[in-house]
């Protein structure tokens, strides 16, 4: 892997084609990332006080293993930061509605179709549909950044979730005569992109921080016939107890 390979100019997803891809669910469980020492887990929405946000980041088990691969390929002194992964539906709804409202105020002449196009560049419409779920509701989408070994954020050119043209992964590759800071930003994005790409992730071109594995967006970017992750859910204590009791009943241990 060459960490300094230029980020290509990838096309914006054809969202209708993305949603049309079938999902062959592989039933990998969600796994919490917080205990892993190789990763820095910083659940951004929880820390920002977003309603219904949770204090942990969960991903599918295969995504977890691939993130560990990424940590091994990063240059010495650079750490991978996970900002968000699986989301509750309420968080997805809040993010979509909040950005929609902000864009409507900023673009008062935009119609519904234009607002939807602008909004989904940064937030997918909330959906738990078995055939077209929001990527972050599958456990396959992750939002990531980089920091140094002392926890200082690397300069990525914009903040996380900044709804700006500068957030496009390829943006700083287009500058013909970049200054020193722009070169540093470009190279930081290259480090992240190339490590994540080498581990099998795809990138959403409008967001330098957003990567996918296993969901429909990943399948579309990779030219695959199907996704392997549909909507998922963190198991509640109530559902765990019910599953345990059901197993005991089937085994004849509960009368």
Residue 92: helix, strand or coil by DSSP?
A: helix
Does the annotation list 9 as a binding residue?
A: no
Q: Which candidate in 12, 65, 173, 207 is catalytic? A: 207
Burial classification of residue 116, based on how many CB atoms lie within 10 Å of its CB (0-12 exposed, 13-18 middle, 19 or more buried): middle
Closest to 126 in 3D by CA, of 84, 87, 160, 168: 87
Question: Is 207 labeled as catalytic in the residue annotation?
Answer: yes
The residue with tokens 């084609």 is: 17
Supply angle C-alpha 8, 12, 13, rounded to 5: 120
Does the annotation list 212 as a binding residue?
A: no
Does the annotation list 155 as a binding residue?
A: no
Q: Taking a C-beta distance cutoff of 8 angstroms, is the pair 213, 202 a contact?
A: yes
Which residue intervals of the chain are DSSP H helices?
Answer: 15-20, 44-47, 61-73, 89-106, 112-120, 180-198, 216-222, 237-250
Supply angle C-alpha 194, 199, 205, rounded to 5: 50
Tokens of 128: 């738990």
Tokens of 209: 């921080």
Question: Which residues are documented as binding site for Zn(2+)?
Answer: 136, 143, 210
| Residues with catalytic function | 207
């Amino acid at each position: 892997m060459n960490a300094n390979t230029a980020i290509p100019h990838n096309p914006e997803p054809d969202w209708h084609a993305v949603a049309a891809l079938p999902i062959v669910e592989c039933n990998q469980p969600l796994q919490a990332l917080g205990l892993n020492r190789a990763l820095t887990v910083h659940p951004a929405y929880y820390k920002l006080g977003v309603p219904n946000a949770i204090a942990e980041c969960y991903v599918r088990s295969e995504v977890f293993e691939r993130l560990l691969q990424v940590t091994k390929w990063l240059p010495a002194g650079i750490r991978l930061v996970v900002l968000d992964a699986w989301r509750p539906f309420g968080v997805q709804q809040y993010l979509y509605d909040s950005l929609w409202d902000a864009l409507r105020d900023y673009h008062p002449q935009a119609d519904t179709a234009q607002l939807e196009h602008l909004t989904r560049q940064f937030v997918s419409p909330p959906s738990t549909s078995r055939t077209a779920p929001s990527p972050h509701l599958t456990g396959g989408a992750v939002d990531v950044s980089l920091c140094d070994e002392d926890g200082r954020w690397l300069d990525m050119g914009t903040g996380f979730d900044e709804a700006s043209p500068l957030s496009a992964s390829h943006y700083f590759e287009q500058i013909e005569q970049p200054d020193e800071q722009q070169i540093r930003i470009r190279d930081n994005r290259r480090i992240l992109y190339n490590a994540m790409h080498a581990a099998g992730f795809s990138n959403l071109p409008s967001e330098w921080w957003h990567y996918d594995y296993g969901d429909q967006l990943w399948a579309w970017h990779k030219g695959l016939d199907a996704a392997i992750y549909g909507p998922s859910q963190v198991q509640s204590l109530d559902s765990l107890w019910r599953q345990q009791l059901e197993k005991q009943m089937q085994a004849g241990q509960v009368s």
